[in-house]
Amino acid sequence: MAAAQAGDARAYDLLLRDCLPLLRAIARRRIADRHEAEDAVQDTLLTIHRMLATYDPTRPARPWIAAIAERRCVDRLRRRGRGAGREASIDDHAESLAAPPGATGEDRVAARQLREAVADLPESQRTALRLAKLEDLPLAEAAARSGLSIGALKVATHRALKTLRRRFGVED
């Protein structure tokens, strides 16, 4: 980050490339529409560019970048209006379930198998898993969005994780 602030173009490019997965994860968690989420990512990149000189290099960069992304998403949602609702499918979290960059072929196969296993879950379990684990929402909010009670949401999430563990031979 300090090198990017000092004008090192290569460091700046690397910084932007490295923060893209974080920015996309934040935008997709906050904004259901993929195109609008990608626009929020672009807004965030522009804001980072404009505000780079204000970054304090004695502090961690990730929270600074994440805060900018959160604010750009909120700005975009405000402009769009509050009535649009937030409906997302498990496909919106494909990046969270994908193999990391540079992963081996075996890792990519495992990531694909995980995506398929999640897709095979009953809808209520998929929804509970998405809200409680992938979006990491507070239980009350996840329950409200899913239309389930907090207890039912916990049970559905537990069953989803148990099914996935069993499918992949992982002991509890």
CATH number of the domain within which 60 lies: 1.10.1740.10
What's the total number of domains in the chain? Answer: 2
* Final residue of a structural domain among 84, 115, 130: 84
Q: Which two tokens stand for residue 51?
A: 């505000």
What type of residue sits at position 21?
A: P
Whether residue 40 is contained in a domain is answered as: yes
- In this structure, how many other beta carbons lie within 10 angstroms of the beta carbon of residue 51? 11
The answer to whether 44 touches 72, Cβ cutoff 8 Å, is yes
pLDDT at 97: 56
pLDDT at 81: 61
Tens of pLDDT, residue by residue, the chain (172 residues): 778 888 888 988 898 889 999 999 999 988 888 888 899 999 999 999 888 888 888 888 889 999 999 999 988 888 766 444 444 555 555 555 555 566 577 777 777 888 888 888 898 899 999 888 888 888 888 888 888 899 999 999 999 999 988 988 876 5
Whether residue 172 is contained in a domain is answered as: no
pLDDT at 151: 92
The answer to whether 73 touches 40, Cβ cutoff 8 Å, is yes
Same domain, 112 and 43: no
The answer to whether 31 touches 77, Cβ cutoff 8 Å, is yes
pLDDT at 98: 56
Structural domain boundaries enclosing 23: 2-84
Secondary element (H or E) of residue 111: helix 105-120
The answer to whether 103 touches 59, Cβ cutoff 8 Å, is no
Same domain, 110 and 138: yes
* Final residue of a structural domain among 19, 50, 84: 84
